[in-house]
Amino acid sequence: MITKDNLRELLVCLGFQQSDTILDEMSMHFANINSTIAVDFTNELIKYPDGVEADRDTTKNFSKNENFVVLECVVGLLAQGYKPEHIVLEPETPGGRENGYYYGDILIRDNHKRPYLLIECKTEDGKEDDEFQKAWRKTLLDGGQLFNYYNTYRQAQYLALYASDFVDGEPRCDYRLITMTDNDDYLESNPHLASYTKVSHDNGTRDDFFRVWCDTYGKDFSTNGAFEVGEVPAFGIKKKKLTFDDLVNVEEDDIHKKYHRFAQILRQYNVASHENAFDKLVNLFLVKVVDESQNKNDLQFLWKGAAYDDYYSFQDRLQKMYHIGMRDYLGEQVTYVDNESIDNAFRLQRNDPDAIKKQIVEYFRELKFYSNSDFGFLDVHNKELFFQNAVILKAMVEMLQNIKLKTDVQNQFLGDLFENFLDQGVKQNEGQYFTPTPITRFMVSSLPLEELIKGSMEIPKAIDYACGAGHFLNEYASQIRDFVVKYKGIEQLSDYYKNIFGIEKEYRLSKVSKVSSIMYGQDGIQIVYGDGLVPHDKIEEGGFKVLVANPPYSVTGFLKTLSKEERYAYILGREMRDKAVESCNYIVSP
C-alpha cells in the first residue's frame, strides 16, 4: 500500500525530483503537455497542474492513503498525453449523502468536454479483503460506485476501478476496465439482448445499465489496454493483444480441471455426442497450434469479449487458421473463402458482371458442397442453431486460450491432458484399439536406439503404418531425443523427427496423431492420411530401420476394401481367390 512513509520513494520511482527552489517539495514536469505536478511534504499538499478541475479538494492532501492512488493515477494519465483540462478530480454525482452528492475520484473528458472515462481509485495491499478487491466484488454484485457515477455521466465510454501499490521498491497498478459502448455485431446474435443504447434512449436507471452489463455482456471486463504508459496513448483505450509470452504451461493440476470443464460444457449445453465433441476439440487444438506458430505477437485463438468480438468474426478466425493447419501439417485442402477473396471478385472484375457472377457462384458451390462443420458441436442448419453452437464454441476456446500448447521440449502434463481427452472422447471398436502408454514405452525401450543413433552416419527412418493416435511415434521420438542430443547435437533433432512416419486410415485419428506430436514438442513427425496397406507418395519403399506398430490383425471383410492390384502386392494376396477374399479376416505382411 502507498502511504506517507513510502510516498517519497514512490515519487522517485515515478520520475519526480527534489525542487531547487522550494524546501521539501518534489515535482515532475511533463514536456509532452508542458505541465508540472508537485508534492509539498511540509504542508502535506498535492499540487496538480493548472487546468485540472476539481469539484472539491479533499484528494489534494495526505489525509487518506487513497489520495496517493489518485496521485499515481493522474501522473500516469499525464504521461499518456492527457492534458490537465481533460481531468476532473472528485466529480459531483447527485444522490449521495454529502450535501446530496456522491463524489467520484477522476473523470476524463474529451476535447468537447464530453465524459470519456470514469475512474474510481482504491488502495491495494495484495490481500483478498483490501479495498480494491472489496470494491470489485461489490461492482460484480450490484454495480457498486462505478454504476452510481455512470448514471450521471452516461456519455462515458469506459468505467475503471483502479488501484496502485508499491511493492519491492516498484509501483504497480491493477485495474478493471468496463466498456460501456455497444457491440452491434454481437447484439445481432440474439434479438432479445438489451443494449446500453436502448436503456439510454428509454431513460433507464443505473440498475438497467448494470443488467445490460450482466445479461448482455456477461460482466465482461479488461485488465489491460487503458493505462499502460508508452503503449496506450490518450483517448486510445483498446483491448491489449494477447501474445505467446502471455500463455502459461500446462501443469498437473490443470489436467482434471480442463477435462472437468470440457464435460461440464457438454452437460450444460446438452451436447449428446461426446465423440463428435472430441473431434471438434481436436480441430481446435490444431487451430491453436497454428495460432501459436504464426501469430505470436497477436494471438487470434481467443474470445476477445462481448464488447470487442462477435460470433461471425470469431468463427472466421478459427476457420482461417484451421485451413492453414490442415494444409501445412496434414497436406489437406480445406474449403475456406475469406472476405478478401469476395472483395477481390468485385474489385478486380468490376467491369465484367458475368465474371463476377461466375466467381461468386463458384464460391457458393465450394461452401455448399465442399465444406464441413469443422466446429459444429451441434448440428447447425439455421441461424438460431449457429448462435447456439457459437456459445459452446466460445466456451471451449475460453477453456484453452490461456494455456500453451506448442513447446520446444516434451511437456508430460500437456500430453497427459490430451490423453485424457482422447480416452474419454474416442470410442474404440473393431480394428481400433489404442496401445496403452506403458506398453508402448516398454516396446520402444526394447529397441537398441542408442546403438542405432550412435553407430550410424545416416538418420534412421522409423514408421508406424497403423499409427492411430500416434502413441508409438511419440514414444519413439521422445526416447531418441537424449541420444540425438548426446551424439549428434540438438540442432540435428528436427531432422530426426522428420524421418519418423505414421500412416493412419481414419481421418480424425490422423489429425489426432499430428496434433499430439506437436503438443509433445515433436512437430516434424510426418503423418500420412491413408491406408497402410497401399503405397503412398510420401512413403518410400524400403530404407526403414525401425518399424514399431500394433496394427489391427483381425477386421471383418477388410480385404474387400482393396483392389486386386493392391491385394496382389502381397504374397498371400496373390495366392487367394476372390471368394476367399470375401470372408478373409487376416493378412500376412509381404
Q: What's the confidence (pLDDT) of residue 180?
A: 96
Q: Taking a C-beta distance cutoff of 8 angstroms, is the pair 39, 71 a contact?
A: yes
CA distance 477 to 418: 17
What is the CB neighbour count within 10 angstroms for residue 245?
8
Q: Which is it for strands 544-547 and 461-464: parallel, antiparallel or unpaired?
A: parallel
Report the amino acid identity of residue 341: S
The pLDDT of residue 370 is 53
How far from 136 is each of 147, 163, 259, 338, 393, CA to CA, in Å?
12, 11, 30, 41, 28
Q: How confident is the model at residue 518 (pLDDT cuts 50, 70, 90)?
A: confident
Considering only CA atoms, which of 4, 102, 13 is closest in space to residue 46? 4
CA 580 distance to own-chain centroid = 54
Query: CA-CA distance, 474 to 522, in Å (whole number)?
Result: 7
Residue corresponding to grid cell 540438438: 490
Q: What's the CA gap between 546 and 476, in Å, rounded?
A: 10
Q: Average pLDDT, whole number, for the chain?
A: 85
The neighbour count for residue 426, using CB atoms within 10 Å, is 21
Residues 529, 532, 538, 544, CA torsion sign: positive
pLDDT at 374: 87
Task: Identify which of 170, 248, 240 has the alpha carbon closest to the alpha carbon of residue 10.
Answer: 170
Please give the average per-residue pLDDT across 425-442, as a whole number. Answer: 66
Q: 336 or 137, which is more confident?
A: 137
**C-alpha distance from residue 144 to each of 139, 160, 577 (Å):** 4, 12, 82
Mean pLDDT of 525-546: 87
Left (φ > 0), alpha (ψ -120 to 50) or beta: where does 218 sit? left
Higher confidence at residue 543 or residue 108?
A: 108
Q: What is the pLDDT of residue 511?
A: 86
pLDDT reading at 431 higher than 60: no
C-alpha to C-alpha distance for 25 and 316, rounded to whole angstroms? 57
| Per-residue pLDDT, 348 | 66
Cα 73 to Cα 162, 178, 558: the distances in Å are: 8, 17, 72
Q: Can you give the pLDDT at residue 433?
A: 58
Place of cell 465444406: 371
pLDDT digits (tens, 9 = 90+) for 135-180: 999 999 999 999 999 999 999 999 999 999 998 888 999 999 999 9
What is the per-residue pLDDT for 100?
A: 58
Give yes or no for a contact between 153 and 115, defined as CB atoms under 8 angstroms apart: yes
Instruction: List the single range of 64-68, 378-382, 456-460 with lowest mean pLDDT.
Output: 378-382
Residue range 485-493: mean pLDDT, rounded? 92
Is the separation of the CB atoms in 578 and 559 below 8 Å? no
Backbone torsions φ then ψ of 172, nearest 5 degrees: -145, 130
* pLDDT tens, residue by residue, 240-289: 888 999 998 877 777 778 878 888 898 899 888 888 888 888 899 999 99
Q: pLDDT value at position 557?
A: 58
More confident position, 506 or 214: 214
Nearest to 38 by CA among 5, 77, 71, 84: 71
**Is the distance from CB of 185 to CB of 312 less than 8 angstroms?**
yes
Model confidence at 539: pLDDT above 80: yes
Predicted pLDDT at 362: 72
Helix axes 252-268, 274-294, angle to 10 degrees: 130
pLDDT value at position 4? 93
Give the model's pLDDT for residue 578.
Answer: 57
Identify the pLDDT of residue 94.
Answer: 77
For residues 227 and 175, the answer to whether their CB atoms sit within 8 Å is: yes
332-344: average pLDDT: 76
Of 457, 458, 474, residue with least CA distance to 548:
474
Mean pLDDT across the stretch 470-482? 92
Strand, helix or coil at 358? helix
pLDDT digits (tens, 9 = 90+) for 552-589: 765 555 666 677 777 777 777 677 665 555 555 544 44
Q: Identify the pLDDT of residue 536.
A: 86
Full set of structural domains in the chain with CATH: 4-216 (no CATH), 245-336+371-400 (no CATH), 428-552 (3.40.50.150)
Grid-cell match 481446435, residue found: 284
CB neighbour list of residue 348: distance below 8 Å, 6 or more residues apart = none
Residue 521: the pLDDT is 80
Max Cα separation, the chain? 108
14: pLDDT strictly greater than 70: yes
Report whether 57 contacts 73 (CB < 8 A): no
User: What predicted TM-score, i.e. pTM, was given to this entire model?
Assistant: 0.73
